[in-house]
Amino acid sequence: MDLAEKSEKKLEQMDSKIEALEGKYKQRIQVEELKASMNPEELEKEIMELKEKQKLLRLAMKQK
């Protein structure tokens, strides 16, 4: 195995690790991005809208 192949394999391993970490912390990252981009009132409104959507989805699933 030459240097280029070793480097390529190492990069693939690092990419896999990065993707795994992003998946693990995705929700936390999204929350931090929201907190940075919105004020508390906007966040509260967004949360209320999401809760309403969640409630409607649950009702729709029960009817199936």
The pTM for the full model equals 0.47
Q: What are the residue ranges spanned by the domains of the chain?
A: 3-63
Cβ-contact 17, 26 below 8 angstroms: no
Give the model's confidence band at 37: pLDDT under 50 very low, under 70 low, under 90 confident, else very high: confident
Burial of 43 (0-12, 13-18, 19+ CB in 10 A): middle
Read off the tokens for 28.
Answer: 């936390």
Give the model's confidence band at 63: pLDDT under 50 very low, under 70 low, under 90 confident, else very high: confident
Give the model's confidence band at 14: pLDDT under 50 very low, under 70 low, under 90 confident, else very high: very high
Is the pLDDT confidence value at 50 over 90?
yes
Read off the tokens for 17.
Answer: 């690790």
